[in-house]
């Protein structure tokens, strides 16, 4: 089949083109064929199981570079047009139409290297020259990623001859796409900081993994692409962790994904994964949940059996198009060979129980110390306070548990028999040797569930953490605190029990655990700081954070602040991460020692005219405290620093610190900047709005600004940008009056499709309003009892 087409207009599907200013206008165009957009480019059979060779020729102006899946076979002048040339590519192997990719751009080939696999391939990095220094990291980690994937998956990617991989770094591009030999990432991911490199490393790993699961073996139904994307996300996290040789990185990322997913997926109107919804919220939910479900399979059958199944999958189905069911079958067979999976259990049935119903289970754990048994029951977990919804939903899931005397995790499967409620529970016998033994479910956060113990077991776990918190595994401690805080938020567990459990945090040394607890505590803070009970909440936080912070401050003083500069190496946790977090919390709640130290560091920075004197981990906190308590001239100095720097991570820190001001005019100016692309890049807009809304004055100014600017926002931005801009305003709603005002504004101004997408966000607002209505006073009472006990 022969076809000729012209790139003569911007096109949403099939390909899209962008013109960016730097300051001279430049142009690039790339394909966007998946899932079935190839039909907008050429006549074709676009079902994934149809594969064909492609012979591609591109005629273009000489100022542009043409790239495709395959290496260039020949370039020659095009006689019919002056200054034009024809780029002819080698014939591709048989590919589905959605894998055919090309790019036309004026970027430069800034770096070159090669993969480390058994069959080497050339790597070329294309970008704007000013990014060259930052892109050395890309060339450093990419060969390692290919080598690790080839080893982990037991299958070379190339067959018979060497190939090439072009990594194209695009301006004003926020997606990640890859196919045979071609990978696209956005400039926004570039940055010299440790955090930026970690994000970039993970995104590169996702694109490289897709060369195996997505290109080497592709899905027969592209409406299930979210299954592939979620599995790739999980495998990428594993590959990065292998490069770090540190499993903490792996569990840290998975726990972070879990925190966001569990929050979103526990709201009443969340939809099942198989629902065909186009909104950004549902797409992110699919991505994260599929990642965690893949982790659940890996934990249930063991890492070795899991990867044996992956290897067999690639070995048997290379260069073929299959359904996800085939993958479940290969993993199931590997699990049975390793004797880690019951013969009666079908992984396809397990996965369907998670795909076809919304939410996730709450596992209720009841002890019977007299008979030494534990009974586990499941029901759907609904987070929204005061709702208490009944549900007939049930899931197949592994129950991994340990006890005080048996620390090696044991695994049992909790069934899902909808017609027999008795079979939807699990009874474990002869669990305890003594009545004072604690029992812990979901060790290593194996499944995306919440666990609700009886009060006796909560008490035993509380005592165990105080006596020696290390007897409970690190990631399990994090999940335990996360479950307790969310169960109290939803009204299942008294806040007094949760605060008692959290007392031990004064001795906790894990950044991972503190980060998890802080996530929920800051959600509480976002509501409490707008209420009359804030003084009581602040007193509690001072008592919780004060002792560990003062120990960190001593360490900082004795080591001349060096531990807080940056982590020692990629993937290695040092005192910096925990120290920086405690420092931020201590200053946020006005602990005097922190305020004094931060103001001294701020004055030193302003005197020198540079933030380089402030340790990187503390920079945002110090600048925020200094601006909040400093003179107007300091705000202007930081503003000038923001204008002068070109590094996005530094711009983000400086810009967000400007929002800590208590001056009306300055906050108003920041809100206006947020909608001005010449002042604030698109990638920083949402963060700036969220930072402004966190402050007491900024919160009320922001609401007023939204009403005034809604028409301008709708005129100037597309649907995705509007969604992002409105998100911080929705997430800060805490009262019925604010909720009603916002809903009325959206009904009046937004189209039906936009209202539908924003409706996903509004559920979070309903949740916060309900919490303030039902749980606010219970928290205050629990804090009062806690602080009185501490004073005694």
Last residue of a domain, one of 470, 502, 535: 470
Q: Is residue 215 in some structural domain? A: no
Q: CA dist 92 to 309, 319, 597, Å?
A: 29, 13, 62
Identify whether residues 166 and 21 lie together within a single domain.
yes
**Tally of domains in the chain:** 3
Q: Is residue 298 in some structural domain? A: yes
CB-based burial label for 549 (10 Å; 0-12, 13-18, 19+): buried
Give the number of other CB atoms < 10 A from CB of residue 318. 14
Identify whether residues 429 and 350 lie together within a single domain.
no
Identify whether residues 331 and 387 lie together within a single domain.
no
pLDDT above 70 for 492? yes
Identify whether residues 77 and 179 lie together within a single domain.
yes
Identify whether residues 105 and 165 lie together within a single domain.
yes
Mean pLDDT estimate for the chain: 88
First to last CA, the chain: 85
Tell me what pLDDT residue 416 has.
80
Q: CA dist 62 to 75, 83, 719, Å?
A: 10, 6, 36
pLDDT above 80 for 560? no
Identify whether residues 25 and 142 lie together within a single domain.
yes
Q: Is residue 235 in some structural domain? A: yes
Beginning with the edge strand found earlier in the chain, give each strand of the sheet holding 450-453 in spatial order.
425-429, 373-380, 361-368, 450-453
Identify whether residues 257 and 156 lie together within a single domain.
no
Q: Is residue 177 in some structural domain? A: yes
pLDDT class of 535 with cuts at 50, 70, 90:
very high
Identify whether residues 18 and 160 lie together within a single domain.
yes
What digits encode the pLDDT tens for the residues 427-480? 999 888 888 899 999 998 999 999 999 999 999 999 999 999 999 999 999 999
- CATH number of the domain to which 38 belongs: 3.30.2010.30
Identify whether residues 318 and 378 lie together within a single domain.
no
Percent residues over pLDDT 70 in the chain: 92
Tell me the three state secondary structure of residue 6: coil
Identify whether residues 316 and 385 lie together within a single domain.
no
pLDDT above 70 for 117? no
Look at residues 40, 34, 36, 35 and name the one whose alpha carbon lies nearest to residue 10: 40
Q: CA dist 500 to 98, 188, 299, 461, 785, Å?
A: 55, 43, 31, 10, 10
What digits encode the pLDDT tens for the residues 325-359? 999 999 999 999 999 999 989 999 999 999 999 99
Last residue of a domain, one of 320, 355, 390: 355
Tell me what pLDDT residue 276 has.
87
CB 142 within 8 A of CB 135: no
pLDDT class of 710 with cuts at 50, 70, 90:
very high
Tell me what pLDDT residue 160 has.
46
Identify whether residues 232 and 165 lie together within a single domain.
no
What digits encode the pLDDT tens for the residues 672-703? 999 888 898 877 888 899 999 988 899 999 99
Tell me what pLDDT residue 195 has.
65
Identify whether residues 147 and 95 lie together within a single domain.
yes
Tell me what pLDDT residue 193 has.
60
Q: Is residue 449 in some structural domain? A: yes
Dmax (CA) of the chain: 92
Q: What would the mean pLDDT of 132-143 be, rounded to a whole number? A: 90
Q: Is residue 569 in some structural domain? A: no
What digits encode the pLDDT tens for the residues 47-58? 888 999 999 999
Instruction: Phi first, then psi: give them for residue 610, nearest 5 degrees.
Output: -150, 145
User: How far apart are alpha carbons 638 and 644 in whole angstroms?
Assistant: 10
Tell me what pLDDT residue 525 has.
95
pLDDT above 80 for 625? yes
Q: Which residue range is the domain that position 328 belongs to?
A: 223-355
Last residue of a domain, one of 470, 502, 523: 470
Residue 95 DSSP symbol: B
- CATH number of the domain to which 413 belongs: 2.60.40.1910
pLDDT above 50 for 561? no
pLDDT above 50 for 573? no
Tell me what pLDDT residue 420 has.
60
- CATH number of the domain to which 313 belongs: 1.10.390.10
CB-based burial label for 419 (10 Å; 0-12, 13-18, 19+): exposed
Q: How many residues does the chain have?
A: 792
Q: Of 169-178, 256-265, 453-462, which range is least confident?
A: 169-178
pLDDT above 80 for 791? no
Q: Which range among 63-77, 374-388, 722-736, 752-766 has the greatest average pLDDT?
A: 63-77
pTM > 0.85? yes
Q: Is residue 101 in some structural domain? A: yes
Q: Is residue 421 in some structural domain? A: yes
């Amino acid at each position: 089949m022969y076809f000729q087409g012209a790139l003569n207009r911007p096109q949403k599907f099939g390909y899209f083109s962008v013109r960016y200013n730097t300051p001279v206008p430049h142009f690039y165009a790339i394909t966007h064929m998946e899932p079935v957009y190839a039909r907008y480019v050429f006549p074709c059979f676009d079902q994934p199981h149809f594969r064909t060779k492609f012979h591609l020729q591109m005629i273009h102006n000489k100022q542009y570079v043409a790239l495709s899946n395959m290496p260039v076979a020949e370039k020659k002048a095009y006689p019919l047009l002056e200054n034009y040339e024809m780029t002819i590519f080698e014939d591709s192997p048989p590919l589905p139409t959605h894998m055919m990719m090309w790019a036309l751009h004026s970027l430069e080939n800034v770096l070159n290297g090669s993969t480390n696999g058994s069959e080497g391939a050339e790597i070329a990095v294309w970008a704007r020259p000013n990014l060259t220094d930052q892109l050395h990291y890309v060339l450093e980690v990419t060969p390692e990623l290919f080598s690790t994937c080839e080893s982990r998956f037991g299958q070379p990617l190339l067959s018979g001859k060497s190939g090439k991989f072009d990594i194209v770094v695009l301006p004003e591009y926020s997606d990640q796409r890859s196919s045979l030999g071609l990978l696209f990432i956005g400039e926004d991911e570039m940055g010299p900081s440790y955090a930026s490199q970690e994000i970039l490393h993970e995104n590169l790993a996702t694109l490289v993994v897709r060369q195996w699961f997505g290109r080497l073996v592709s899905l027969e139904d592209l409406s299930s692409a979210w299954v592939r994307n979620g599995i790739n996300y999980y495998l990428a996290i594993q590959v990065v962790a292998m490069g770090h040789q540190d499993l903490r990185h792996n569990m840290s990322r998975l726990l972070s994904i879990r925190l966001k997913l569990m929050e979103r997926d526990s709201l009443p109107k969340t939809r099942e994964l198989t629902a065909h919804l186009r909104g950004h919220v549902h797409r992110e939910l699919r991505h994260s949940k599929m990642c965690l479900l893949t982790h659940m399979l890996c934990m249930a059958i063991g890492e070795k059996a899991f990867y044996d199944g992956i290897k067999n999958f690639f070995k048997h189905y290379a260069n073929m198009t299959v359904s996800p069911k085939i993958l479940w079958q290969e993993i199931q067979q590997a699990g049975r060979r390793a004797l880690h999976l019951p013969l009666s259990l079908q992984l396809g049935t397990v996965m369907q129980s998670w795909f076809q119903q919304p939410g996730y289970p709450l596992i209720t754990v009841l002890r019977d110390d007299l008979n030494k048994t534990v009974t586990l029951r499941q029901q759907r977990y609904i987070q929204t306070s005061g709702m208490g919804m009944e549900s007939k939903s049930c899931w197949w899931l592994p129950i991994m548990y340990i006890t005080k005397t048996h620390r090696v995790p044991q695994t049992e499967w909790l069934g899902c028999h909808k017609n027999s409620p008795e079979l939807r529970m699990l009874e474990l016998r002869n669990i305890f040797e003594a009545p004072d033994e604690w029992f812990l479910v979901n060790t290593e956060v194996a499944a995306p569930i919440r666990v609700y113990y009886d009060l006796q077991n909560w008490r035993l776990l509380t005592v165990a953490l105080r006596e020696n918190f290390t007897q409970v595994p690190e990631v399990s401690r994090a999940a335990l605190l996360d479950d307790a805080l969310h169960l109290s938020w939803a009204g299942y567990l008294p806040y007094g029990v949760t605060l008692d459990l959290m007392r031990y945090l004064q001795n906790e040394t894990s950044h991972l655990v503190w980060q998890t607890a802080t996530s929920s505590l800051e959600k509480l803070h976002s509501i409490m700081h707008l209420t009359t009970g804030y003084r009581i909440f602040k007193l509690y936080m001072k008592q919780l954070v004060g002792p560990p912070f003062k120990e960190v401050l001593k360490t900082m003083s004795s080591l001349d602040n060096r531990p807080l500069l940056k982590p020692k190496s990629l993937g290695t946790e040092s005192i910096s991460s925990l120290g920086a977090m405690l420092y931020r919390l201590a200053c946020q709640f006005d602990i005097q020692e922190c305020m004094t130290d931060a103001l001294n560091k701020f004055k030193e920075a302003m005197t020198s005219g540079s933030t380089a004197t402030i340790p990187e981990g503390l920079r945002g906190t110090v600048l925020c405290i200094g601006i909040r308590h400093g003179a107007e001239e300091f705000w202007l100095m930081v503003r000038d620093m923001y204008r002068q720097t070109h590094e996005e991570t530094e711009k983000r820190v400086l810009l967000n610190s400007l929002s800590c001001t208590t001056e009306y005019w300055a906050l108003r100016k920041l809100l206006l900047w947020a909608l001005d692309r010449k002042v604030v890049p698109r990638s920083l807009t949402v963060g700036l709005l969220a930072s402004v809304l966190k402050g007491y004055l900024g919160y009320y100014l922001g609401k007023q600004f939204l009403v005034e600017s809604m028409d301008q926002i709708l005129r100037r931005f597309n649907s995705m940008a509007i969604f992002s801009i409105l998100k911080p305003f929705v997430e800060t709603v805490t009262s019925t009056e604010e909720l009603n005002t916002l809903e009325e504004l959206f009904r009046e101004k937004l189209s039906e499709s936009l209202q539908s997408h924003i409706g996903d966000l509004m559920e979070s607002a309903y949740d916060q309003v309900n919490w303030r209505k039902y749980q606010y006073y219970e928290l205050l009472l629990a804090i009062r009892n806690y602080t009185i006990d501490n004073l005694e």
